[in-house]
């Protein structure tokens, strides 16, 4: 596995790969890798000849009071995991490489960024779009691979590619979970013992909401029951059931539904979702 830290070096290397007719897949990460991240590498290997993983803790997607300084930093473990999965290139740029002086940062992400996580984190998705766009400019991948846990982010990136008219295929993997149903996350390690025992109740609330909805319960009652089931110690950010293709209200023409939520458990913010097909549509 090559470890490359500068734009000039990675573009030179990938240029040689393209001259050999090889296709390139990009897996953008912020490090603190777990099995979910490593399954992204597996997906990338099935779609392209050369797999590039990037690790860059992006400052523009953190608000002033968020945990940028505390974000997990374990480069040696990350390198070992990526190498063991067959990653070809690890791109480790500095902030100066990604955001040189006078870098224009006017990234419009549309109305979708104002929903759900965007309500409590109003600058987050602008920062995500900014860094993803920069990585696309640098790597010029044929394929980019993302997980479906960050579902809203995934939809924003798809819109970004369409808006910028990029010829990049998006490949995804479903949410990778612990044995008890908790969605894998870099931040799960910060849950204390009591919180870790309670954390799977979050996914249980989503699964119950899906069951209630498919069983014919009225939508408002489904959501109300789910919110009540969480209760303390979960601090609810949002709990919604929406059209999975648009993240807008469910209509008679909606075919796929997403139950999607974010909560705070202790000092940790957890997100999760379940996508399913409506019955009798």
CB burial string 42-54: b at 16+ within 10 A, e below: ebbbebbebbbbb
- The rounded distance, in Å, linking the Cα atoms of 16 and 38 is 26
Per-residue tokens: 113: 């960024």
CA distances from 216 to 191, 210, 220, 243, 278 (A): 35, 10, 12, 17, 11
3-state helix, strand, coil in the chain (%, to 5): 40, 20, 35
Return the SS3 of 203.
helix
Which of 34, 37, 47, 73 does the annotation list as catalytic? Answer: 37
Burial class for 185, CB neighbours closer than 10 Å (0-12, 13-18, 19+): buried
Strand 256-265 with 268-277, pairing: antiparallel
Tell me if residue 73 is catalytic. no
- The rounded distance, in Å, linking the Cα atoms of 126 and 138 is 19
- The rounded distance, in Å, linking the Cα atoms of 172 and 47 is 11
Report yes or no: 231 and 252 within 8 Å, Cβ to Cβ: no
Burial class for 167, CB neighbours closer than 10 Å (0-12, 13-18, 19+): exposed
Report yes or no: 54 and 145 within 8 Å, Cβ to Cβ: no
Closest CA to 93 of 4, 208, 33: 4
Active site residues: 37
């Amino acid at each position: 596995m090559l470890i490359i830290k500068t734009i000039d070096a990675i573009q030179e290397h990938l240029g040689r790969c393209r001259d050999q007719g090889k296709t390139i897949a990009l897996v953008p990460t912020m490090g603190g890798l777990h099995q979910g991240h490593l399954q992204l590498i597996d997906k990338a290997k099935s779609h392209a000849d050369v797999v590039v993983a990037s690790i860059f803790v992006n400052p523009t997607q953190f608000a002033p009071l968020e945990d940028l300084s505390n974000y997990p930093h374990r480069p040696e473990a990350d390198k070992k995991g990526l190498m063991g999965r067959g990653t070809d290139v690890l791109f480790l740029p500095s902030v100066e490489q990604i955001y040189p002086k006078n870098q224009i940062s006017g990234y419009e992400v549309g109305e979708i960024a104002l929903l759900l996580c965007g309500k409590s984190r109003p600058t987050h998705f602008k920062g995500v779009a900014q860094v993803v766009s920069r990585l696309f400019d640098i790597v010029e991948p044929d394929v980019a691979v993302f997980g479906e846990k960050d579902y809203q982010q995934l939809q924003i990136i798809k819109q970004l590619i369409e808006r910028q008219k990029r010829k990049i295929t998006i490949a995804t993997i479903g949410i990778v979970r612990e044995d008890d149903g908790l969605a894998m996350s870099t931040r799960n390690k910060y849950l204390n013992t009591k919180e870790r025992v309670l954390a799977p109740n979050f996914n249980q609330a989503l699964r119950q909401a899906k069951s209630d909805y498919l069983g014919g319960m009225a939508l408002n009652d489904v959501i109300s029951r789910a919110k009540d089931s969480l209760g303390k110690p979960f601090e609810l950010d949002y709990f919604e059931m929406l059209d999975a293709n648009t993240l807008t209200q469910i209509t008679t023409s909606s075919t796929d539904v997403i139950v999607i939520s974010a909560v705070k458990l202790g000092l940790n913010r957890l997100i999760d979702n379940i996508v399913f097909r409506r019955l009798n549509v």
